[in-house]
Amino acid sequence: MTTQAPADRVPSLDGLRGLSILLVVLGHVAGTAGTPAWSGAFHQLGGWGVKFFFVISGFIITRLLVLEHEKHGRIALNGFWLRRAARILPAYLAYVLAIWLASSLGAISLAPADVLHALTFTMNYYDARSWYLNHTWSLSVEEQFYLVWPLAVITLGRLGTLRFALFVILAAPIARAVMWHVLDASPTAMTRALPATADALAAGAVLALASASGAFARFSARCCGRWGTLFWFAAAFAAPAAIFKLSPGAYYVAGQSVMVVAIALAIRGCVDHPQGLAGRMLNTRFLVWHGSISYSLYLWQEPFLNSFDTRWFAAFPLNLALAYAAALVSLRLIERPCRLAILKWGEAAAPQKPEWPR
């Protein structure tokens, strides 16, 4: 059974978020206590899930910025950052506080600067982090993107931003080559530093910015149709894995570019053709529901889906149940009500600000 998205939502978006978080969950539950030994082969899927999230984020954030600029002739930066804060901070700060309290009580161990880097959104540049706040590196990348990207859209305009996004996609593998071959960067830095991940966000931005192009529409219709979308999904997984097997260095430098371009084209196909096979699968209630809880689930799966811990709460299948239970509590008691309260406060403080499309 499939669900119909409201008219103001991007087709397949919730399902794409749902797929992304499922890849993270599957990757992290693999190898935890109680799972079969062969499940460890799926551990790398978490990296694919985060890449999907980055491309989706680049797409939807750029789309929102461009739509507001075209509708109102300006972008209200205070409104943009308030909405991002309302979306990210309440659940995030509650999670970091809970982890800090658990550490203070001796239930878990944190690295010395974990909380500092988590609170300053610089975890993607901190290699000594512990598992419990490890995943906040991706939110650090997102926050850094939220700070700079609206300024690029305002300064460069639609066409200039499109050119800049294409430049980022081309420049990222060069930056990664310098990091790998000259700076001797670690594999962690090669997948988490902003210069190494910027092409994923830029690929999503290109999807949003090129939508008005007739040439891009013709390319999308030809290459991202029913079977084309399935091809790009397969390529997004198979091609980078094959490149890594041949040469880890080649994967870190160029394979990630192959991955994000294939992911972007797969997303384009799902957005343009929601009635295709891939689109119908993404719009099932199962994936749409996972998309709706994706943020809280991403936060709270970490302490339970921990392959380095063999205690009862990190053992399969109880760890999976606890991760979902914690996510639902976070969603209903923190994420949604706090977001609505902050947005209501923002509306009262600036009643004349333009309404943003979702």
Per domain, the residue ranges of the chain are 13-348
Q: How confident is the model at residue 355 (pLDDT cuts 50, 70, 90)?
A: very low
SS3 state of residue 271: helix
Residue 45 near residue 335, CB atoms below 8 Å: no
Distance between CA 337 and CA 349 in Å, rounded? 18
Q: How far is CA 141 from CA 192, 307, 339, in A?
A: 8, 24, 21
Asked if residue 273 has pLDDT above 60, the reply is: yes
What per-residue confidence (pLDDT) applies to 354?
Answer: 46
Instruction: Kindly give, in sequence order, each residue whose CB lies less than 8 Å from that of residue 63, ignoring residues fewer than 6 positions away.
Output: 10, 208
What per-residue confidence (pLDDT) applies to 38?
Answer: 86
Tokens at 136, concatenated: 């906040």
Secondary structure in 3-state letters for 195-232: HHHHHHHHHHHHHHHHHHCHHHHHHHHHHCCHHHHHHH
Among 143, 144, 117, 141, smallest CA distance to 129 is for 117
Residue 137 near residue 124, CB atoms below 8 Å: yes
∠ Cα 209 211 215 (to 5°): 110
- The pair phi, psi for residue 284, each rounded to 5°, is -70, 155
Distance between CA 66 and CA 294 in Å, rounded? 25
For 40-92, how does the pLDDT look when each residue is reduced to its tens digit (9 = 90+)? Answer: 888 889 999 999 999 999 999 999 998 888 888 888 999 999 999 999 999 99
Q: Please state at what angle helix 77-104 crosses helix 294-304, rounded to 10 degrees.
A: 20
Distance between CA 287 and CA 221 in Å, rounded? 25
Pick the residue with more confidence: 289 or 220? 289
What per-residue confidence (pLDDT) applies to 3?
Answer: 41
Task: Please tell me what DSSP assigns to residue 192.
Answer: H
What pTM value is reported for the model? 0.91
Asked if residue 7 has pLDDT above 70, the reply is: no
Tokens at 261, concatenated: 């371009």
Q: How confident is the model at residue 217 (pLDDT cuts 50, 70, 90)?
A: low
For 295-329, how does the pLDDT look when each residue is reduced to its tens digit (9 = 90+)? Answer: 999 999 999 999 999 999 999 999 999 999 999 99
Give 142: exposed, middle or buried? Use CB within 10 Å, 0-12, 13-18, 19+.
buried
Residue 118 near residue 136, CB atoms below 8 Å: yes
Question: Tokens 């978006």 identify what position?
Answer: 13
Q: How far is CA 209 from CA 77, 109, 132, 150, 203, in A?
A: 19, 44, 36, 13, 10
Distance between CA 86 and CA 78 in Å, rounded? 12
